[in-house]
């Protein structure tokens, strides 16, 4: 198993399939984009599947989330999902995406064995979407989410980040729309993972701000810690019904003590935390011919050194050099 010195066991693997993205969200990367990884730096499809197989069969991983960048830009995605679905034991598999390519791929991903999707959508207003993402693709995201729902990639979870002066007033509208469409909405506090290093704690929209805004229209009843488990989102029942809304307060209400994640970058580096400043190289071991047992040992060593927390509350906190698009969300 992937155990750390604080007694946490990682069972949830996040796998970045590419650092590339077809949006330019202001809280992630500059308008001109980034210097992308070279093809030889990226793990091959076969290397990704092998590492996931080692994680599942040797290290106790039970859930796999494919991320990016934008994972739908990975040409071999469907094949990767299909091979991972054939593993014994079979992991639960999900995908975090901006939704632009889902209308075209949802059915194939479901047939390959994908269980569900998380889609990033920060606004219901096309003009605000264009400002936030620097791309005019709002309708493509809406259509992609509907295609995922129809394909059975459910529950479709919607991830929204609220930004001052842009969409900070949209929380109630987003929740009403999500409930109507049977999507599960989760608000995420903006995190210091932008390539420009422009994040500032002052003025950010906090979990408290979001909940106060939602309560102007809805009655929210907290589910409680027993329901939450190791999930990052605190969840509330909406108006006493079946719908819930989540808030991931990575900055103001860290949940590091219950973290069960390990992360693999698109170039084969193990990361113990989104905010880690160190990585452990598995790609070199793969390409030097190391057996599965050695790769598993290296992974265990990397996770053993996981820190107690993200350090966001420490005045000496340093933002990781690698942006979110390279790390995988």
What pLDDT digit, counting tens, does each position of 14-46 carry?
999 999 999 888 877 777 777 788 999 999 999
- Report how far residue 199's alpha carbon sits from residue 70's, in angstroms, rounded to the nearest whole number: 21
191 among the known binding-site residues?
yes
Backbone angles phi, psi at 65, to 5 degrees: -115, 125
Higher pLDDT, 251 or 53: 53
Per-residue pLDDT reduced to its tens digit, 108-159: 999 999 999 999 999 999 999 999 999 999 999 999 999 999 999 999 999 9
- Report how far residue 138's alpha carbon sits from residue 153's, in angstroms, rounded to the nearest whole number: 20
Per-residue pLDDT reduced to its tens digit, 140-152: 999 999 999 999 9
Query: Cα-Cα-Cα-Cα dihedral of 72, 74, 76, 78, to 10°?
Result: -10
104 among the known binding-site residues?
no
273 among the known binding-site residues?
yes
Instruction: Average the pLDDT over 55-82 and give the result.
Output: 97
96 among the known binding-site residues?
yes
Report the pLDDT value the prediction gives residue 47, as an integer from 0 to 100: 98
241 among the known binding-site residues?
no
Report the pLDDT value the prediction gives residue 108, as an integer from 0 to 100: 98
14 among the known binding-site residues?
yes
Buried b (16+ CB within 10 A) or exposed e, 26-42: bbbbeeeebebbeeeeb
Report the pLDDT value the prediction gives residue 130, as an integer from 0 to 100: 96
Q: How confident is the model at residue 194 (pLDDT cuts 50, 70, 90)?
A: low
Q: How confident is the model at residue 199 (pLDDT cuts 50, 70, 90)?
A: low
84 among the known binding-site residues?
no
221 among the known binding-site residues?
no
306 among the known binding-site residues?
no
214: Cα within 13 Å, side-chain hemisphere: 30
pLDDT for residue 217 is more than 80: yes
162: Cα within 13 Å, side-chain hemisphere: 28
307 among the known binding-site residues?
no
Total-model pTM:
0.92
65 among the known binding-site residues?
yes
Report the pLDDT value the prediction gives residue 197, as an integer from 0 to 100: 59
């Amino acid at each position: 198993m992937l155990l750390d010195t604080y007694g946490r066991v990682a069972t949830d693997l996040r796998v970045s399939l590419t650092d590339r993205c077809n949006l330019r969200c202001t809280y992630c990367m500059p308008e001109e984009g980034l210097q992308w990884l070279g093809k030889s730096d990226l793990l091959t499809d076969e290397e990704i599947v092998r590492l996931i197989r080692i994680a599942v069969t040797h290290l106790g991983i039970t859930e796999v989330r494919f991320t990016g960048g934008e994972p739908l830009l990975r040409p071999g995605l469907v094949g990767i999902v299909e091979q991972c679905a054939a593993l014994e034991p079979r992991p639960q598999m999900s995908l975090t995406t901006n939704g632009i390519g889902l209308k075209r791929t949802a059915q194939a991903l479901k047939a390959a064995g994908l269980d569900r999707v998380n889609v990033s959508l920060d606004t219901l207003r096309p003009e605000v979407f264009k400002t936030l993402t620097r791309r005019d693709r709002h309708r493509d995201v809406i259509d992609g989410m509907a295609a995922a729902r129809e394909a059975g990639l459910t529950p479709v979870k919607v991830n929204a980040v609220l930004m001052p002066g842009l969409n900070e007033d949209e929380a109630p509208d987003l929740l009403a729309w999500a409930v109507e469409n049977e999507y599960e909405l989760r608000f995420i506090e903006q995190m210091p993972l932008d390539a420009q290093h422009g994040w500032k704690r002052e003025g950010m929209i906090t979990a408290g701000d979001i909940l106060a805004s939602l309560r102007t229209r809805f009655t929210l009843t907290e589910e409680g810690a027993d329901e939450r488990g190791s999930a990052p989102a605190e969840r509330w029942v909406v108006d006493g019904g079946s719908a819930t809304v989540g808030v991931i307060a990575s900055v103001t209400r860290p949940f590091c003590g219950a973290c069960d994640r390990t992360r693999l970058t698109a170039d084969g580096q193990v990361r113990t935390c989104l905010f880690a400043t160190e990585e452990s190289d598995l790609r070199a071991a793969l390409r030097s011919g190391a057996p599965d047992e050695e790769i598993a040992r290296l992974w265990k060593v990397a996770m053993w050194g996981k820190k107690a927390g993200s350090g966001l509350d420490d005045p000496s906190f340093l933002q990781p050099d690698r942006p979110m698009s390279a790390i995988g969300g």
